[in-house]
């Protein structure tokens, strides 16, 4: 029986298992070792109790300080180590006030491409930390998440999958699954009254037209490809970026391949 990729944890957003993908080494990513997710502050008590069964040992939170303060994660228990970074602010083309009033989908699309080109280098310390979290939780499971589980998490998961030998096509496939796994407009834009959504009062995203907002919320193959191509243009290869920019050693990579694939 094939495990479920999209896990219906009560109160979760875009919570998925990254297992099952084939690698170029003739192995597959283990199920139940690498999870990706969006906002986790809304997890119901019965969902957090399931973390014991999932064997989670590390939660890698890629959000900024303000996001964590507004939507704090639940208590995952003493056996789970939290990986968080002191990030006060980070600029982004889609958070630019000049961009906020746009009603053109092509402008929003171009801003998303630009943002994805920048993400691997703006998030460098956090992306290095994802590999540290996986190394810490070598005998258990790791969750990598942000707000939507799409942009920051998408780049992080793509790098991990690439590092253990998953083919580019499958990496893109995992990324675009967000489009069918979750309704981000409802999850992140439609629950502001409850304090559970991404957008808050005054958020520039609220000023976008429906077509421009759709381009921002979508997980389009060309977005993630822009990140990977930006890395290759600057560093020569994904492997070179992971080695030289994220300082992940070959020994660590070998250990991760052993723990994350079978």
For residue 5, is it within any domain?
A: no
Q: Is the separation of the CB atoms in 252 and 164 below 8 Å?
A: no
CA angle 234, 109, 216 (to 5 degrees): 105
Considering the chain, what percentage of its residues have pLDDT values greater than 70?
A: 86
Give the range of the structural domain holding residue 159, as residue numbers without chain letter.
16-260
Confidence category of residue 88, pLDDT binned at 50, 70, 90: confident
Considering the chain, what percentage of its residues have pLDDT values greater than 90?
A: 65
For residue 216, is it within any domain?
A: yes
For residue 156, is it within any domain?
A: yes
Q: Which residues pair with 60 in a beta bridge?
A: 83, 144
- pLDDT of 189: 62
Which CATH number belongs to the domain containing residue 145 in this structure? Answer: 3.90.190.10
For residue 64, is it within any domain?
A: yes
Digit-coded pLDDT (tens) for 209-261: 788 888 989 999 999 999 999 999 999 999 999 999 999 999 999 999 999 99
- pLDDT of 188: 63
Q: Dihedral angle at the C-alpha atoms of 84, 86, 91, 93, nearest 10 degrees? A: 0
Confidence category of residue 159, pLDDT binned at 50, 70, 90: very high
Both tokens assigned to 244 = 């030289």
Which has the minimum average pLDDT: 2-11, 107-116, 143-152, 156-165?
Answer: 2-11
- pLDDT of 190: 58
Q: How far apart are CA 203 and CA 207, in angstroms?
A: 8
Number of other CB atoms surrounding residue 115 within 10 Å: 20
**What is this structure's pTM?**
0.93
Q: How far apart are CA 119 and CA 47, in angstroms?
A: 31
For residue 56, is it within any domain?
A: yes
Q: How far apart are CA 157 and CA 130, in angstroms?
A: 9
Q: How many domains does the chain have?
A: 1
């Amino acid at each position: 029986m094939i495990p479920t990729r999209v896990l219906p944890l009560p109160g979760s957003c875009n919570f998925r298992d990254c297992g099952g993908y084939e690698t170029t080494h003739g192995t597959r990513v283990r199920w139940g070792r690498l999870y990706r997710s969006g906002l986790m502050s809304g997890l119901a008590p019965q969902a957090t109790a399931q973390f014991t069964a999932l064997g989670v040992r590390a939660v890698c939170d890629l959000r900024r300080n303000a996001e964590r303060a507004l939507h704090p994660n639940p208590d995952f228990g003493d056996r789970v180590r939290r990986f968080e970074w002191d990030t006060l602010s980070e600029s982004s083309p889609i958070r630019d006030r000049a961009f906020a009033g746009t009603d053109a989908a092509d402008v929003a699309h171009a801003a998303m491409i630009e943002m994805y080109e920048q993400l691997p280098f703006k998030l460098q310390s956090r992306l290095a930390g994802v590999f540290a979290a996986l190394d810490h939780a070598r005998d258990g499971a790791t969750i990598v998440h942000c707000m939507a589980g799409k942009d920051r998490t998408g780049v992080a998961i793509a790098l991990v999958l690439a590092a253990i030998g998953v083919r580019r096509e499958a990496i893109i496939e995992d990324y675009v699954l967000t489009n069918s796994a979750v309704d981000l407009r409802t999850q992140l834009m439609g629950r502001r009254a409850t304090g559970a959504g991404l957008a808050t009062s005054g958020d520039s995203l609220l000023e976008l037209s429906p077509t421009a907002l759709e381009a921002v919320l979508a997980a389009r193959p060309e977005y993630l490809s822009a990140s990977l191509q930006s890395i290759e243009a600057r560093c020569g290869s994904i492997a070179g970026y992971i080695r030289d920019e994220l300082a992940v050693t070959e020994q660590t990579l070998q250990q991760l391949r052993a723990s994350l694939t079978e």
